[in-house]
Structure 1
Amino acid sequence: MSDIIQLLPDHVANQIAAGEVVQRPASVVKELLENAIDAGATSIKLLLKDAGKTLIQVIDDGKGMSTTDARLCFERHATSKIRDAQDLFNLNTKGFRGEALASIAAIAHVELKTKQENEELGTLIKIEGSKVTSQEVVSTSKGTSIAVKNLFYNIPARRNFLKSDTIETRHIIDEFQRVALAHPAISFLLHHNDNEVYHLKSSNLRKRIVAIFGGKMNEKLVPIDEQTDILSIKGFVAKPAFAKRKRGEQFFFVNDRFIKSAYLNHAVVNAFDGLLESGSHPSYFLYLTVPASSIDINIHPTKTEIKFDNEKALYAILRATVKHSLGQYNVAPVLDFNRDANLDTPYDYSKKQTGSTPKISVDPDFNPFKDNTIQNDKPMQKDYQESYKKQTDNWDALYTTTQVESKVNQEQLFESEKETTHKTFQIQKKYLLSSIKSGVVLIHQSLAHQRVLYEDFLAKITVEEASSQQLLFPVSISFASSDIEIIYGIKSELESAGFMFAEFTKESVVIGGIPTSITESKITQLLEQLLDDIKLEVPDASFSHFDVLAKSFSKSLAIKTGTSLNFKEQETLVNDLFMCKEPSVSPFGKPIFKTLTLNEIDSIFNS
């Protein structure tokens, strides 16, 4: 009988190892960013194409690698942070190159450029599926640039399991935010499909949080700072008034590494006892520093779960610290906290008797119209009457002249309108062609309108106060029980958008008011679209439901292909589009317009 057990070839073993480390593009982003940080970088750039499926490139200005290190970092079981088994229990870094790069190189095309500061030339290595295809000397700047192209190109089944670009991009941004929040002193730049998503300058922790989550976050934050023998805690929690119906902005960092801990989360929630409504979740950004030897970070492949030696003590300290800060900064509700003490009635006035009614004195001889400065009022009146008569003598002529001038002005106005050339044209009721100095731009009208509506909705929901219109007769809409739970879960966000709910039952939702920007006939369509979008979203993602709301609104209410637009509507849409923050892509990542320069147009006819 032949032998059954055999050793796996290296390329198969590498692909299996890659499956543990690289689950999706976000896994690669996490590893590369952490490597750049451990290399001592002060500036890190992350460039993406197609949600990382086509390209993930991380460029840093760190210490770089020697030629030997550059080659060894792609070998299996190669690492810079472990020398013996004991080091596994005393990790202070995230891992400088090595190990993860071998897994990444097994399932992608990798190009590495690196140079140390004291070297004149750097090293360029290209790898495809764990095989080094070229290694050469190259002129490059100090630091390291790693480009990972065509992820899972040799494992098509794994590539097919990836989600849409939108969802994969959300995973990447989650990882990017976690790394950026853990290291506010490092500047970060994120580009996706040549569009700048984040440009985070070196700053302190508070400014970094505000830069990522928006200016409104600044007023929500309550600082946390506590030093003990076994634990150091700093960071921020959000005020109870800004609690959310979902777990979104909840971040724990232990020794500058993002972790997930239901146990520590319970400690924070417990500190908010009595301050939150039922079903609400607090937001927090908490940074814990503990001795590296007191934690085990290797109980999970992604290192997002940690085992503590003294969990109960950490729980008690964390809960007490958060509770103390909420009280110290007067976050707990008090009665009439805006009262002005200067307006209080003194206690010694309690028995004071009221005095007599004050008397009012009047001068009976006072005449405000008596004035001796004007002596000869009759001549003045006579001159005024003569002047008025002269003006009114030619009243008919004055009216006729005005009428003629008005008619001429109107004729000139209409003539100028006739002579005006339109710069925008509609093609097949689908595209808009607009003339620009360098050529022409072709715009997808529906996607353009989606972008305009999306940014408008997002501003109204998050920055401004959305206005509502009350319905004369409340509308009852039937949904599945699971869908009703989803709607109820985002009830506060929908109310912020302008919805007013009269009642929730097991089978229906009764709506009493809607945003002024939508019509009653669109309610059902809009909510159904919203439910579909939420179901496609990743659970517990850090993106707010406000983003999903705005996207659903824009998709439902945007003008559709086949809609005819007059010249005024075309020009308004084009102007509104290019006033947006991101005019080049739709809310769902699709390109909105294509520019054709005069040279490109000429080349068509000269070819």
Structure 2
Amino acid sequence: MGRIRILSDLVANQIAAGEVVERPASVVKELLENSLDAGASRIRIEIEGGGRKLIRISDNGHGMVRDDALLAFERHATSKLRTADDLLSIATLGFRGEALPSIASVSRLTLETRDPADEAGTVLEIAGGNILRVEDAGLPAGTTITIRDLFFNTPARRKFLRTEQTELSHIAALVTHYALANPTKHFELHSATQALLTAPSVPNAADRLFQIFGKDTTGYMLPIAAEQDFAHAGLPEPPPWKREPDYEPPAPGHLRLAGFISKPELQKLNRNSIYVFVNHRLIRDKLILHALTEAYRNIIPPTSFPVVLLFLEMPPEEVDANVHPAKTEVRFRQSAFVHDFVRDTVRTVLMQARPAASFAAALNNGRYGPESSLLLDVSPLPDGPIPPVFDPTREPATFPQSEPEPTAADTVPFTTAKSPSFTLAAPIVPPSPGRFAYPGHSIPVGYEATAPATHEPGTNGAPQQTDTLYALSTLKPLGQLRDSFILAVNEEGLWIIDQHVAHERILFEKVLRERTTEQVQKQRLLMPLLIDLLPAQMLSFAEIADELQRNGFEVEPFGPRTLAVKAAPVGLEGRELEQMLQEVLEAPDRNQQAENAEARRRRIAASIACHAAIKINQPLEPTKIEWLLNELAKTEHPTACPHGRPIALRYSHRDIQRAFQRI
């Protein structure tokens, strides 16, 4: 007798459930996406026992007729695909037709649904994949799905679930993601004891950001928007998007990027505050995460992560969502183009904004002060009640573009304005001042030559400078603090500048500039400097020898494990020169991705700048201090040193007044 046999439908569904239903949050994700695809404007989620005991999702979408309600639980039954060609232009969140039968095979499920055109609705009850009851009932238009006793018939799967608080935190993070992506829709998340999230519909993403994160975090966020043609012509017209009737898809061949990115002073310990959506789909894509890491390179420490809310819009033909069972990973047709576009756009906004760090944020390091509730992280929560993400009594506010002080930005009508194309092979052209808008995501963008201004209550509309580093050019030095920090003042307040990292930023940009123009200044050593290396470091030298030469080094092997340094960039000598070379020749971490040419160039430039810069505990003449401040003001990004440490901290005039109880 043969050994190969066809699995029963029950076993096949449970195997599919193992791919689709990883944990209770996976169930919520599939059902939530179905509600969004159904055009729902109000979605309510109820959770008990971390999702083990109960998951109930109710929406006011278009609902289903009786026949469709029965067909929905057949494998590969879907209303979103007709032919294989439709897989090339997926414009909905769900499409495979595996979620409902997979969930029903490992739970006790009740479906209540009614199409608005029908007089009666349908109630369908399933347990372990077997239909128990089908009957008509009087129901409101829309759909309610109740999941009880998840994994009741697969106890081995239940053993792999975490604590109730942990599973609930995963669900809360997921709902938060989709609330951010759909600001015009009403979301509610309730546990057995409290309302975890109540987010009424708001007109744009800025107000939703305020709802979820609060004033403190939104004060550290920068708006971002750009549009770029794809690198080829002749892209077919994308199909109409059916989720929102008034939605206008991008023009054929266009890639749009909009959202918010955090200032360098707002940093997190993990990537859980990075929210990325491609065509409204929540993704965790390594390509986009790498682009964001590259954009923040030399701006924040490599062990820290920004807060990011990004929306990528592109024709459905340019992205393949059918590469992962949970649909959390996608594949871009032109991945290098998308990567560089995201990296360069984010980098440009950071360079132009030049945000200044305040004392409060610096002492906090931006990690815990702003209202970044643990609920937004997918890491386990401590035992005890979970604080609500959004207080419904708090009124939405317009998006502030200054540090978190008691200010309110004037409301400006949103209009649509296209940004100039970004040419990746040439210097980046910044977005033009204006507004980038599409339904549900009206986002202010654009930066003037001077710092943006907001309006203080009680100042009769007088503009107030926001906290940027454009004011560095107006600083008047007072002296040094312990021969390490420069004290300076201007109309905005008192500034403290770290002399080492300030000089490091100046030299870093100078090294990159001279290396590009092949005008590196170098000096020959009277006697070659001999440096002994480990075998792995000798291999590293073979990889970066050409880059060292371009930066003014003359280095050659002097035996199997020794290097002879005959020339070096001006400013590097003695012990600092040897330490710099030892640093750049460190054996790479095998757990990290391979270093590309750009990353290698910036790493070497950062090491040269660090070891050649002015040190702490070094007295400076007044003329040297003035030169340092003037040169710092000319740099492209005076916010942080190449290793991510802040350069300048400002104690604002308002902070001083508040400290002395003047206001």
TM-score by length of 1: 0.54
Residue 249 of structure 2 is aligned to residue 225 of structure 1: no
Give the one of 261, 282, 285 matched to 1:261: 285
What is the aligned-residue identity percentage? 40
Query: Which range moves more in the overlay, 129-138 or 325-334?
Result: 325-334
The answer for the alignment partner of 1:24 in structure 2 is: 23
The answer for the alignment partner of 1:5 in structure 2 is: 4
| Partner AA of 1:319 in structure 2 | R
Question: Contact 1:53/1:149 (CA < 8 Å) preserved in 2?
Answer: yes
| Partner AA of 2:297 in structure 1 | D
Instruction: For residue 454 of structure 1, report the CA deviation from its aligned partner.
Output: 9.5
| Partner AA of 2:212 in structure 1 | I
- Mapping for residues 562-577 of structure 1, pairs under 5 Å: none
Question: Contact 1:35/1:97 (CA < 8 Å) preserved in 2?
Answer: no
The 2-side partners of 1:238 and 1:214 are apart by 14
The answer for the alignment partner of 1:161 in structure 2 is: 160
Question: Contact 1:72/1:98 (CA < 8 Å) preserved in 2?
Answer: no
The answer for the alignment partner of 2:298 in structure 1 is: 274
Instruction: For residue 453 of structure 1, report the CA deviation from its aligned partner.
Output: 13
Instruction: For residue 276 of structure 1, report the CA deviation from its aligned partner.
Output: 1.4
Instruction: For residue 275 of structure 1, report the CA deviation from its aligned partner.
Output: 2.2
The 1-side partners of 2:7 and 2:286 are apart by 39
Instruction: For residue 452 of structure 1, report the CA deviation from its aligned partner.
Output: 10
The 2-side partners of 1:97 and 1:267 are apart by 29
The 2-side partners of 1:17 and 1:274 are apart by 44
Instruction: For residue 272 of structure 1, report the CA deviation from its aligned partner.
Output: 2.4
- Mapping for residues 400-415 of structure 1, pairs under 5 Å: none
Q: Are residues 451 and 145 of structure 1, via their aligned partners in 2, closer, same or farther at CA, if it must alter by over 3 Å? A: closer
- Mapping for residues 116-155 of structure 1, pairs under 5 Å: 116-155=115-154
Question: Contact 1:55/1:148 (CA < 8 Å) preserved in 2?
Answer: yes
The 1-side partners of 2:386 and 2:137 are apart by 48
- Mapping for residues 70-149 of structure 1, pairs under 5 Å: 70-95=69-94, 98-149=97-148
| Partner AA of 1:254 in structure 2 | V
The alignment partner of 1:179 has SS state of: helix
The 1-side partners of 2:189 and 2:77 are apart by 29
The alignment partner of 1:64 has SS state of: coil
The answer for the alignment partner of 1:40 in structure 2 is: 39
Instruction: For residue 56 of structure 1, report the CA deviation from its aligned partner.
Output: 0.4
Q: Are residues 199 and 19 of structure 1, via their aligned partners in 2, closer, same or farther at CA, if it must alter by over 3 Å? A: same
The alignment partner of 1:293 has SS state of: helix
The answer for the alignment partner of 1:429 in structure 2 is: none
The alignment partner of 2:189 has SS state of: strand
Instruction: For residue 330 of structure 1, report the CA deviation from its aligned partner.
Output: 3.2
| Partner AA of 2:339 in structure 1 | Y
The 2-side partners of 1:327 and 1:147 are apart by 49
Larger helix fraction of residues: 1
Instruction: For residue 329 of structure 1, report the CA deviation from its aligned partner.
Output: 2.8
Instruction: For residue 451 of structure 1, report the CA deviation from its aligned partner.
Output: 6.6
The 1-side partners of 2:4 and 2:354 are apart by 68
The answer for the alignment partner of 1:494 in structure 2 is: none
The 1-side partners of 2:4 and 2:139 are apart by 48
The alignment partner of 2:290 has SS state of: helix
**Deviations, residues 524-582 of structure 1 (Å, cap 9, x unaligned):** xxxxxxxxxxxxxxxxxxxxxxxxxxxxxxxxxxxxxxxxxxxxxxxxxxxxxxxxxxx
Question: Contact 2:276/2:311 (CA < 8 Å) preserved in 1?
Answer: yes
Q: Are residues 275 and 97 of structure 1, via their aligned partners in 2, closer, same or farther at CA, if it must alter by over 3 Å? A: closer
Question: Contact 2:172/2:196 (CA < 8 Å) preserved in 1?
Answer: no
The answer for the alignment partner of 1:319 in structure 2 is: 343
- Mapping for residues 181-580 of structure 1, pairs under 5 Å: 181-203=180-202, 204-230=204-230, 231-331=255-355
The alignment partner of 2:229 has SS state of: coil
The answer for the alignment partner of 1:69 in structure 2 is: 68
Instruction: For residue 306 of structure 1, report the CA deviation from its aligned partner.
Output: 1.1
The 2-side partners of 1:453 and 1:247 are apart by 21
The 2-side partners of 1:305 and 1:50 are apart by 29
The alignment partner of 1:286 has SS state of: strand
Instruction: For residue 49 of structure 1, report the CA deviation from its aligned partner.
Output: 0.6
The 1-side partners of 2:320 and 2:295 are apart by 26
The 2-side partners of 1:179 and 1:100 are apart by 18
**Deviations, residues 485-515 of structure 1 (Å, cap 9, x unaligned):** xxxxxxxxxxxxxxxxxxxxxxxxxxxxxxx
Question: Contact 2:112/2:124 (CA < 8 Å) preserved in 1?
Answer: yes
**Deviations, residues 368-408 of structure 1 (Å, cap 9, x unaligned):** xxxxxxxxxxxxxxxxxxxxxxxxxxxxxxxxxxxxxxxxx
Question: Contact 2:16/2:98 (CA < 8 Å) preserved in 1?
Answer: no
Instruction: For residue 274 of structure 1, report the CA deviation from its aligned partner.
Output: 3.0
The 2-side partners of 1:37 and 1:218 are apart by 26
| Partner AA of 1:211 in structure 2 | Q
| Partner AA of 2:111 in structure 1 | L
The 2-side partners of 1:104 and 1:80 are apart by 18
Instruction: For residue 292 of structure 1, report the CA deviation from its aligned partner.
Output: 0.7
The 1-side partners of 2:384 and 2:212 are apart by 21
The 1-side partners of 2:29 and 2:38 are apart by 14
Question: Contact 2:81/2:95 (CA < 8 Å) preserved in 1?
Answer: no
| Partner AA of 2:171 in structure 1 | I
The 2-side partners of 1:200 and 1:39 are apart by 19
Instruction: For residue 285 of structure 1, report the CA deviation from its aligned partner.
Output: 0.7
The 1-side partners of 2:229 and 2:210 are apart by 31
The alignment partner of 1:241 has SS state of: coil
Q: Are residues 333 and 178 of structure 1, via their aligned partners in 2, closer, same or farther at CA, if it must alter by over 3 Å? A: closer
Q: Are residues 258 and 119 of structure 1, via their aligned partners in 2, closer, same or farther at CA, if it must alter by over 3 Å? A: same
Higher relative contact order by CA 8 Å / sep ≥ 6: 1 or 2?
A: 2
The 1-side partners of 2:173 and 2:99 are apart by 20
Question: Contact 1:73/1:99 (CA < 8 Å) preserved in 2?
Answer: no
| Partner AA of 1:181 in structure 2 | L
The alignment partner of 2:106 has SS state of: coil
The 2-side partners of 1:208 and 1:137 are apart by 39
Question: Contact 1:35/1:96 (CA < 8 Å) preserved in 2?
Answer: no
The alignment partner of 1:172 has SS state of: helix
Computing the radius of gyration from Cα coordinates, the structure with the larger value is: 1
Query: Which range moves more in the overlay, 12-21 or 240-249?
Result: 240-249
The 1-side partners of 2:280 and 2:207 are apart by 17
| Partner AA of 1:258 in structure 2 | L
Question: Contact 1:226/1:233 (CA < 8 Å) preserved in 2?
Answer: yes
The answer for the alignment partner of 2:177 in structure 1 is: 178
Q: Are residues 232 and 454 of structure 1, via their aligned partners in 2, closer, same or farther at CA, if it must alter by over 3 Å? A: closer
Q: Are residues 454 and 136 of structure 1, via their aligned partners in 2, closer, same or farther at CA, if it must alter by over 3 Å? A: closer
The 2-side partners of 1:269 and 1:127 are apart by 46
Q: Are residues 453 and 140 of structure 1, via their aligned partners in 2, closer, same or farther at CA, if it must alter by over 3 Å? A: closer
Question: Contact 1:66/1:115 (CA < 8 Å) preserved in 2?
Answer: yes
Residue segments in structure 2 that go unaligned for 5+ positions in a row? 231-254, 359-382, 389-403, 406-663
The answer for the alignment partner of 2:486 in structure 1 is: none
The alignment partner of 1:92 has SS state of: coil
The answer for the alignment partner of 1:57 in structure 2 is: 56
**Deviations, residues 339-385 of structure 1 (Å, cap 9, x unaligned):** xxxxxxxxxxxxxxxxxxxxxxxxxxxxxxxxxxxxxxxxxxxxxxx
How many residues end up aligned between the 2 structures? 341
Instruction: For residue 178 of structure 1, report the CA deviation from its aligned partner.
Output: 1.8
RMSD: 2.3
The 1-side partners of 2:385 and 2:184 are apart by 35
